[in-house]
C-alpha cells in the first residue's frame, strides 16, 4: 500500500522502455470496476476537474482524473477504481513490496534506506522517546526494523499486501496485522505513536481512517503523517508529471493547511512540520515522468539526462539546494507531527511548537 521507498531510494532506476508502453496509456483497463466518491472530508459531490493522467510509475493501462472539491478544496481521484480493481496497480514489483533491506539490494542502496529509516525514528524521538508504535502500511517492515534496534520501543504493524505482510512477519518480532486499517481494531487508547509514511494518500476514506486512528491512540500520543507536499516547487513546476500524484494509486491529495484543519477537528494538535525524506529520488522520478512525454522520440537524450542526474558529482552538487528546500519545508514530501489532545488537561500540554 505504501510508496515510501519511492521517496527514499538512493538511485533512480533509468528505464527507457516507455515508448512501447505509452501506446496503452489512454486505453482504459477492461473489466475493471469504477466508482464515484464524495469528498472524504466535507462529503460534497460537486467538483472542479483539474487534470487527467496515466500510471507513470508502472505504466499500466488507463487514464485517471484528479478533481478538487468545490466546497473544501481537498483534491481526489474521481471517478476511481474500486478497491479490488485498484489492486492490479499494486503488483509484487511495486517498490514498497520489494524488500530493500534484503540481500538482493546493493550495499549502497541498503545504507541509504537504513539512513532514511534512522532519520525518521530520530525525528520521532525529538517528541517521544519510548512506547508502543503502530506503523500503518508498514510494507516490508523497513521502518519497524529500525524501531526494533532501539530497546525503548515496542511496535506493531498493519499491511494489507499479503506478500509485504509475510516479509514483515519473517523479519520482525512484532505483530503485523494483515488487512485494511478499517478492519484493524485494537483496544482504544493502545498506542503512544502512530506512523503513516506516505500512506494517507492511498486510502479511499482517509478522514474516517484518521478518526479510527485517533481512537486507538493514548491521550497525548504522537501521530506522524508523511504526504506529498503540494506546496513544493516541484509540484508547481512539473504539474501532472510530479511524483506526488502517482496515479492511480494515490486517491487523495491534501493541501497542508487543510490537513491541519482536519486533524484539529478530529482532536489532534499539529506541533511541527519537517521535510525528512528523499528529495533526490523524488525529483529523479519526477524528471523521469516529465521526460516520458517530452523526450519520447529521443530515448538516448533521456537516458543521458537521467544518468547525469544520478551521477555522484551531480548528487553532491544538488545536496545544498535540496538541504535549503528541506529547511524551507518545500521538499516534495512533508511530514506532520501531531499530538492527540489530552482532554484531561484541556490540551494545554500538547501545544509544544507553534506551527
Binding residues for Zn ion, rule: CB under 5 A, are 39, 41-42, 44, 69, 71-72, 74
Nearer to Zn ion, 71 or 119 (CB): 71
Least Å distance between CB 217 and Zn ion?
Answer: 25
Establish how many alpha carbons lie within 13 A of residue 98's alpha carbon, considering only the half-sphere containing its beta carbon.
17
Q: Which is nearer to Zn ion, 89 or 253 (CB)?
A: 253
Neighbours of 152 (CB within 10 A): 10
CB of 72 to Zn ion, least distance (A): 3
Closest CA to 200 of 257, 292, 137, 158: 137
Q: Measured on CA atoms in the order 223, 225, 231, 232, is the torsion positive or negative?
A: positive
Question: What is the closest distance, in whole angstroms, from the C-beta atom of residue 46 to Zn ion in the complex?
Answer: 9
Taking the complex as a whole, how short is the minimal distance between the CB of residue 69 and Zn ion, in angstroms?
3
CB of 86 to Zn ion, least distance (A): 21
* Closer by beta carbon to Zn ion, 41 or else 245: 41
Least separation, in Å, of the C-beta of 36 and Zn ion?
A: 14
Q: Estimate to the nearest angstrom the gap between the alpha carbon of 12 and the chain centroid.
A: 17
User: Least distance to Zn ion from the beta carbon of 257, Å?
Assistant: 14
Nearer to Zn ion (CB atom), residue 53 or residue 206: 206
What is the three-state SS of 94-122? CHHHCCCCCCCCCHHHHHHHHHHHHHHHH
74 or 181: CB nearest Zn ion: 74
331 vs 227: CA distance, rounded Å: 11
How close are the terminal C-alpha atoms of the chain, in Å?
A: 29
Query: How many whole angstroms separate alpha carbon 70 and alpha carbon 83?
Result: 25
Of 58 and 72, which CB lies nearer to Zn ion in the complex structure? 72
Distance of CA 182 to the CA centre of its chain: 18
Cell of 310: 544520478
Task: Identify which of residues 60 and 258 has a Cβ nearer to Zn ion in the complex.
Answer: 258
Identity of the residue, 72 or 326, whose beta carbon is nearer to Zn ion in the bound complex: 72
Determine contact, residues 301/287, Cβ cutoff 8 Å: no
Rounded to whole angstroms, the Cα distance separating 352 from 272 reads: 9
Residue 145: which of 179, 177, 110 has the closest Cα? 110
We find the least distance from the C-beta atom of residue 42 to Zn ion, in angstroms, to be: 3
Amino acid at each position: 500500500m505504501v510508496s515510501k521507498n519511492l521517496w527514499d531510494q538512493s538511485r533512480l532506476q533509468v528505464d527507457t522502455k516507455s515508448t512501447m508502453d505509452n501506446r496503452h496509456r489512454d486505453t482504459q483497463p477492461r473489466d475493471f470496476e469504477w466508482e464515484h466518491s464524495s469528498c472524504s472530508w466535507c462529503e460534497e459531490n460537486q467538483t472542479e476537474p483539474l487534470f487527467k493522467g496515466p500510471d507513470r510509475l508502472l505504466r499500466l493501462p488507463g487514464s485517471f482524473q484528479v478533481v478538487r472539491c468545490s466546497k473544501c478544496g481537498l483534491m481526489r481521484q474521481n471517478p476511481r477504481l474500486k478497491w479490488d480493481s485498484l489492486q492490479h496497480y499494486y503488483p509484487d514489483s511495486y517498490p514498497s513490496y520489494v524488500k530493500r533491506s534484503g540481500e538482493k539490494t546493493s550495499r549502497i542502496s541498503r545504507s541509504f534506506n537504513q539512513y532514511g529509516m534512522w532519520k525518521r525514528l530520530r525525528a520521532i524521538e525529538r517528541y517521544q522517546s519510548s512506547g508502543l508504535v503502530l506503523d500503518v502500511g508498514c510494507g516490508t517492515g523497513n521502518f519497524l526494523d529500525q524501531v526494533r534496534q532501539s530497546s525503548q520501543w515496542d511496535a506493531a504493524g498493519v499491511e494489507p499486501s499479503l506478500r509485504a505482510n509475510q516479509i514483515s512477519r519473517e523479519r520482525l518480532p512484532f505483530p503485523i496485522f494483515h488487512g485494511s486499517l478499517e478492519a484493524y481494531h485494537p483496544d482504544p487508547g493502545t498506542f503512544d505513536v502512530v506512523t503513516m509514511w506516505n500512506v494517507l494518500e492511498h486510502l479511499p476514506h482517509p478522514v474516517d481512517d484518521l478518526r479510527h486512528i485517533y481512537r486507538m491512540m493514548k491521550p497525548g500520543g504522537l501521530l506522524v503523517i508523511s504526504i506529498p507536499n503540494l506546496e513544493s516547487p516541484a509540484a508547481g513546476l512539473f504539474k501532472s508529471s510530479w511524483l506526488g500524484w502517482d496515479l492511480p494509486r494515490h486517491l487523495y491529495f491534501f493541501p497542508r493547511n487543510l490537513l491541519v484543519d482536519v486533524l484539529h477537528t478530529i482532536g489532534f494538535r499539529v506541533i511541527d512540520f519537517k521535510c525528512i525524506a528523499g528529495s533526490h529520488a523524488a525529483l529523479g522520478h519526477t524528471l523521469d515522468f516529465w521526460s516520458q512525454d517530452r523526450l519520447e522520440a529521443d530515448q538516448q537524450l533521456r537516458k543521458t539526462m537521467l544518468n547525469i542526474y544520478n551521477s555522484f558529482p551531480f548528487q553532491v552538487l544538488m545536496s545544498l539546494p535540496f538541504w535549503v528546500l528541506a529547511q524551507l519545508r518545500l521538499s516534495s514530501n512533508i511530514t506532520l507531527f501531531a499530538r492527540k489532545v489530552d482532554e484531561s488537561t484541556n490540551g494545554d500540554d500538547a501545544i509544544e511548537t507553534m506551527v
